[in-house]
Amino acid sequence: MLKDITLGQYFPGDSLVHRLDPRTKLICVVLYIVALFTAKGFLAYGLVFLLLATAVKVSGVGAKALLRGMRPVLFILIFTGILNLFYTTTGTVLVKVGFLQITTGGLANAFFMVVRIMMLISGTFLMTYTTSPISLTDGLEMLLNPLKKLKVPVHDLAMMMSIALRFIPTLIEETDKIMSAQKARGADFESGSVIDKAKAMVPLMVPLFVSAFRRADELATAMECRCYHGGEGRTRLHQLHYTRNDWLVMGLFGVLVAAMFVLRRFSSF
């Protein structure tokens, strides 16, 4: 069913990771990515992996859910692995078949590339799994606040983003419902040629657009009734506060990045 789409899906929970300030999580993801791209050698990757594994364990999300998110990029993973395996020519040659050869360097490169992409995806997914879309946009707005000085409409953009995110599940549910209602009248969305399928979309798209416009209209009215007039002078119900945990976690990721730079320079392991 449409409901099973897990794109930026949020798994509610009450773990330490869930409770972190969204700004902390955004900053940490950036630091994490920097660390991942600086990392070189087993020790460095091991450290980053240790941190990721700890975060996953603490969050209670479960490695299975994270691995499931990996499925859409499986092809890219395999492709990257194979390219790196055959196109690196450093190190000693292990196997040689015709013009293809596998070297120790290629093996290492392929391994690190694939691990890096997997860890990159897991890290960012962990953030979206543990942060509700609304608090994510809140955090983003706060972090981008300095851009207001440059006349970037940060608040409006954030508001649009949170409304859009808020309505994705509603629209998916609505699509499901209208689809069922038309199927009950014998509509067939699955079989037939491409043209038949496109035609079959009309009974779905028309009601969907009508209701999306109606909803937008109602929402605008409801917001105006509550005196919404943009971000100016607007206070928040849920103020974002950094706690001690936030500073600790940010510090930890800061140390991680520093460690990566040091290892890159001084360790050959």
Partner 1 sequence: MDPILETKDLCCTYSIGTPFEHVALDHVNFQAYPGEYLGIIGHTGSGKSTLIQHLNGLLKPTGGQVLLHGKDIWADSKTTRQTRFKVGLVFQYPEYQLFEETVYKDIAFGPKNMKLDQDEIDRRVHQAAYFVGLTDDMLDKSPFELSGGQKRRVAIAGVIAMEPEVLILDEPTAGLDPQGREAILGNIQAFHDARNATIIVVSHSMEDMARLADRIVVINDGKIPLEGTPRQVFAQGDQLRDMGLNTPQLTQVFHRLREMGLPVDDSVYTMEEAKAALLALYRKGGQVC
Number of Cβ atoms within 10 Å of the Cβ of 4: 6
Binder among 31, 178, 250, 257 for partner 1 (CB under 8 A): 178
Report whether 245 contacts 20 (CB < 8 A). yes
Pattern of binders to partner 1 over 128-167, x per CB under 8 A? ----------------------------------------
Query: Exposed, middle or buried, 236 (CB in 10 Å: 0-12/13-18/19+)?
Result: exposed
Tell me which of 206, 220, 248, 258 binds partner 1, using CB under 8 A.
206
Q: Which of 164, 181, 222, 248 binds partner 1 (CB under 8 A)?
A: 181
- Which of the residues 5 through 34 are near partner 1 (CB under 8 A)? 11-12
Q: What minimum distance in Å lies between the beta carbon of 125 and partner 1?
A: 15
Neighbours of 2 (CB within 10 A): 10
Question: Is residue 182 close enough to count as binding partner 1 by CB under 8 A?
Answer: yes
Number of residues in contact with partner 1, rule: CB under 8 A? Answer: 21
Contact with partner 1 (CB under 8 A): which of 5, 94, 202, 219?
202
Piece of the chain touching partner 1 by CB under 8 A; list 28-36, 116-124, 203-211, 221-229: 203-211
Q: Which helix (H) or strand (E) holds 261?
A: helix 244-266
Closest by Cα among 1, 11, 8 to 165: 8
- Listed ranges 135-143, 160-168, 200-208, 222-230: which one lies at the site for partner 1 (CB under 8 A): 200-208
What is the nearest approach in angstroms of partner 1 to the Cβ of residue 182?
A: 6
Name the nearest CA neighbour of 109 among 77, 85, 91: 85
Nearer to partner 1, 148 or 177 (CB): 177
d(CA 184, CA 128): 36
| Residue closer to partner 1, measured from CB, 146 or 186 | 186
Among residues 95, 97, 150, 184, the one that binds partner 1 under rule CB under 8 A? 184
Cβ-proximal residues to 210 (8 Å cutoff; 6+ apart), any chain: none
Q: Please identify, among the stretches 91-99, 201-209, 220-228, 229-237, the one whose residues bind partner 1 according to the rule CB under 8 A.
A: 201-209
Whether residue 257 contacts residue 34, with contact meaning beta carbons closer than 8 Å, is answered with yes
Token pair listed for 208: 């969907």
In three-state secondary structure terms, 240 is coil
Among 183, 189, 255, 261, binds partner 1 (CB under 8 A): 183
**Choice between 124 and 211, CB closer to partner 1:** 211
The token pair that represents 131 in the structure block:
């942060």
Q: What share of the chain is helix, strand, coil (3-state, %, to 5)?
A: 75, 5, 25
3-state secondary structure string across 4-32: HCCCCCCCCCCCHHHHCCHHHHHHHHHHH
Minimum Å gap between C-beta 62 and partner 1 is 9
Contacts to partner 1 by CB under 8 A: 3-4, 11-12, 177-178, 180-188, 202-203, 206-207, 210-211
